[in-house]
Amino acid sequence: MRKIWYRRILIILVLLATILGTNLGIEELQDEEKRQEVSTRGVDSTLLIPGGMPIGIYMETDGVLVLDTDSIEGMDGTEYAPAKNLVKSGDYIVGINGEEVNSKNDLIQAVGRLDSREVVLSIRREEEYIDVKMNSVEVDTNEYKLGIWVRDSVQGLGTITYLTSSGEFGALGHGIHDTDTEELLEIENGTVYVTNIIGIQKGEKGTPGGLEGIIIYNRHNILGTIEDNTECGIYGTIKNVDALFEEQEAMEICEKREIELGAAVIRCAVDGEVKEYDIKIKNVDYFTRDENKGIIIEIVDEELLELTGGIVQGMSGSPILQHGKIVGAVTHVLVNDPTRGYGIFIEDMMNADG
C-alpha cells in the first residue's frame, strides 16, 4: 500500500462525504443566545498567507484500522465468527504473533504465513495496547482467515486554509473521520498533492454538491507532507510552496472579538482559479461546544451561487476573510439550505496546530 502513490495513476475524484468523513447532515441553525462575556484572550500576531487552493490528500493510518468483523465458512462447511466480541470497530491492529504490522499488506502477508489456528493480535484500543488471543478459521488446507474488515489509508480532495512563514499549513477546518467507524483517523503520515478542479456537482436542497478533481499520485506532484489529523483540521508542511502559493500576500489573524456580523468573503477555486466570493457572517458563537461551528455564514455572491448553488463538499477549508484579516475557514454545509453553513474560528484552528 505504501508504494501505491508512487505509481503514475490518474484518478478522478468526486468528493463525497464518505471520502473525507465530513460530518454533513441536515443541521438546524442554533438559536442566537445572548452572550454577555467575550473571550479576550489575545492571539499571536503571526501573519498567515491565506489559501483557497484545492489539494489532493493521501493519508496512511497508524496501524491497520478495524472496520468490522464478519463470519467465515470453514473447511467443514460451518460458519465461524472468530473475531466477534474480541476485536472492535475502531481498534488498530499493530502486530500479529509478535510481528509488527504497519499496513494492510503487512497484515495480509502475516496471515498468509500462519501455520496454525492460534493467533495473537496486538491491538491499540484508544490509548491502551492489548493482546487479543483468537483462533483463525482454516478455509482451505493451511489457509487461514481472521474475519476482520480493515482499512489502512484514505484519499480525497480538500482546500488549504493558510500557510505560515515557516511553511506549515492548515487545511479543511475539520478532521478526517473514517466513514465506517465515524472515528477521527489516527494517522502515521500523509502526503499533499497537486490537484485540478474539473467539474462541479451543484448543491440543491437535500442534496449536497461536490467538486470533481484530478489527482495524479506520483512524486512529481507532491506538494508536502501531512503530520496531524485533528478535529480542527489537518496540518503539515508545504515543501513546494511556489507551486501552490503564487503572489500571495500575508494577512493578520482576526480575533474572535473583532469579527463583525455582515459582509465578508471566502476564498476558493471552484472554477479552477482562486477567487474571493461575497458572503455574510450571520452569527458568531464564542462559546460553541462544537469548535467547527463557531461561525454561521451565508453565500450571497451570485457568481458562486450560479456555479455551486452555495457551499459544496470540497470547499471545506476555504478561508473566511473580513477587513483584510483571516477570520476562519468554511467547515460544513446545511444540506437543507446549501447557501448557508458553518465555519471555524482561525484562533481555534491555529491552537489545534500542535
Q: Domain 4-29+46-60+153-352, what fold?
A: Thrombin, subunit H (2.40.10)
Single-letter amino acid code for the residue at 177: H
Active site residue 174: yes
Instruction: Decide if pLDDT at 11 tops 80.
Output: no
For the segment 45-60, what is each residue's pLDDT rounded down to a tens digit? 479 999 999 999 999 9
Q: How far is CA 25 from CA 38, 73, 166, 208, 246, in A?
A: 29, 38, 36, 9, 35
For the segment 147-181, what is each residue's pLDDT rounded down to a tens digit? 999 999 999 999 999 999 899 999 999 999 998 88
CATH code 2.30.42.10 region(s) in the chain? 71-146
Catalytic residue among 106, 316, 318, 348: 316
Catalytic residue among 103, 136, 152, 174: 174
Average pLDDT score over residue span 99-112: 94
Instruction: Give the DSSP letter string of 161-192.
Output: EEE-TTSEEEESSS--B-TTT-PBPPEEEEEE
Q: What predicted TM-score, i.e. pTM, was given to this entire model?
A: 0.83
**CATH number of 71-146, picked from 2.60.120.560, 2.40.50.140, 2.30.42.10, 1.20.970.10:** 2.30.42.10
Mean pLDDT score across all residues of the chain: 86
By three-state DSSP, how is residue 104 classified? helix
- Taking residue 27's Cβ as centre, other Cβ atoms within 10 Å add up to 18
Instruction: Decide if pLDDT at 25 tops 50.
Output: no
Active site residue 166: no
Share of the chain above pLDDT 90, in %: 70
Active site residue 332: no
CATH code 2.40.10.10 region(s) in the chain? 4-29+46-60+153-352
Catalytic residue among 68, 278, 290, 301: 301
Average pLDDT score over residue span 311-333: 96
